Amino acid sequence: MPNFPEHIEKLQPYVPGLAINALAAQLGVDPSSIVKVASNENPLGTSKLALEALQKATQEFALYPDNDSLELTEALAKYHNVPREWIVVGSGSEAVLSMAAGALLTRGKKAVYSQYSFQAFAGAAQRVGASHAVVPSPDFRVNLDGLLASIDADTTLVYIANPGNPTGTFLSNEELEAFLSNVPPSVVVLLDEAYVEYLPVELRSPAIRWIHQFPNLMVTRTFSKAYGLAGLRVGYGIAQPEIADMLRRVRPPFSVTRLAQIAAAAALADTQFLAKTAECNAAGLAYLYTALNELKLEFVESFANFVLVKVGDGNALSQRLTQRGVIVRPLKSYGLNEWIRISVGSQSENETVVNALRQEINA
Ligand SMILES: *Cc1c(COP(=O)(O)O)cnc(C)c1O
């Protein structure tokens, strides 16, 4: 028998949501009739600039990609007005979160994050055998004082997603800045801004100013959500060179594909697509709120592209919605048995979701 380390034996495989094709086959319907609002993907598809760049790219794949994603890194450095050395590209921002764990955690070290945080935080810490402190969050908002209080001599990394997933809640810049001022400089704070593009401009963090001010801060962004590139796997972190360099050292070689690099560099300039995405999302959220109020379902106000809804038995309702061709995300794995998460879709998708919900709630 192979002798696996204890922390590896305790890992659970990642269980993604039901795939569209699998459900379509099961129900005997066309895949185009399935509505998947389970993974916070962009209902408008992919940035057109990214698609055009992909079409123009040489269809030649014999060579390895650029290990350092140089062109994308340069585009990002220019976009954020920071030196190239501050940028770490990864195969999704999830990979960057994992690199932070690889660089900062090991057995005996500790990661700190909030209850109802993005599951990848726990996974990244567990895979490297580190311990973790989960700070209670009864109101679904990250308890920053609680995070501070649980930082001890073993703590090397704090994970915060803002807005949070699956909660959709938001911490103000004032709250976060006060928190950053109080974190010991030896502890790295990874601020995951996967949904920043959905925030009104005035709420967005002064991320780059903070990184200048707090050398222990890393901010991560992704192309998976607002840019519509989840299928290509590309995201990045921004931090001062000391942290960025260490993360690059633990990044698996050639992990960001050439097509991902090309698409991301092109998508970055697609301000029109981002604006349309944010507009569609705001309208969709407003529509969902009205419908949820009518259905007398409790929900948490969201600053992202999904909404947390209290439905009783979340697993059972998700399964029943599935039978109606609607895939939502049950949240039992987050300890939120009574809640489901619904991603904002296109207007017609939102209507399908609401109709299915109405039929199930009134059934
Ligand atoms: C979706 C999401 C991401 C994005 O992950 P990728 O690996 O970039 O696709 C990161 N953080 C949070 C909190 C998310 O919800």
Q: Which residue's structure tokens are 């690889």?
A: 102
For the segment 121-175, what is each residue's pLDDT rounded down to a tens digit?
999 999 999 999 999 999 999 999 999 999 999 999 999 999 999 999 999 999 9
Atom 2, ligand 1: which residue's CA is nearest?
A: 194
Alpha helices in the chain (DSSP H): 6-9, 20-27, 48-56, 70-80, 93-104, 119-127, 144-150, 173-182, 207-213, 241-250, 258-267, 271-294, 314-323, 347-361
Give 167 Cα–ligand 1 centroid separation in angstroms: 13
Evaluate the CA torsion angle 15, 20, 22, 27 in order and state its sign.
Answer: positive
pLDDT at 59: 85
pLDDT at 16: 83
Confidence band for 212, pLDDT divided at 50, 70 and 90? very high
Show the tokens assigned to 193: 């801004």
pLDDT at 118: 96
How far is it, in rounded angstroms, from Cα 219 to Cα 239?
A: 7
Ligand 1 neighbours (beta carbon < 6 A) = 40, 92-94, 118, 161, 165, 192, 194, 222, 224-225, 230, 235
**What are φ and ψ of residue 157, in 5° steps?**
-150, 130
Q: Supply the mean pLDDT for the chain.
A: 97
Give 150 Cα–ligand 1 centroid separation in angstroms: 25
Q: Best mutation site among 46, 72, 93, 195 for ligand 1, i.e. most ligand atoms within 8 A of its Cβ?
A: 93
42 alpha-carbon distance from chain centroid? 13
Lowest-pLDDT range, 12-26, 77-91, 153-167, 261-275? 12-26
pLDDT at 264: 98
Atom 3, ligand 1: which residue's CA is nearest?
A: 194
Res 363 pLDDT > 80:
no
pLDDT at 197: 98
For the segment 37-52, what is each residue's pLDDT rounded down to a tens digit?
999 999 999 999 999 9
- Are the CB atoms for 328 and 341 separated by under 8 Å? yes
Q: Across residues 216-221, what is the average pLDDT?
A: 98
pTM (global) more than 0.95:
yes
Give 14 Cα–ligand 1 centroid separation in angstroms: 14
Closest to 184 in 3D by CA, of 224, 163, 145, 153: 153
Res 1 pLDDT > 90:
no
Res 14 pLDDT > 90:
no
Give 105 Cα–ligand 1 centroid separation in angstroms: 20
- Are the CB atoms for 344 and 288 separated by under 8 Å? yes
Q: What percent of the chain has pLDDT over 90?
A: 96
Give 93 Cα–ligand 1 centroid separation in angstroms: 6
Q: Across residues 247-271, what is the average pLDDT?
A: 97
For the segment 310-337, what is each residue's pLDDT rounded down to a tens digit?
999 999 999 999 999 999 999 999 999 9
Res 344 pLDDT > 80:
yes
Atom 11, ligand 1: which residue's CA is nearest?
A: 194
Give 209 Cα–ligand 1 centroid separation in angstroms: 23
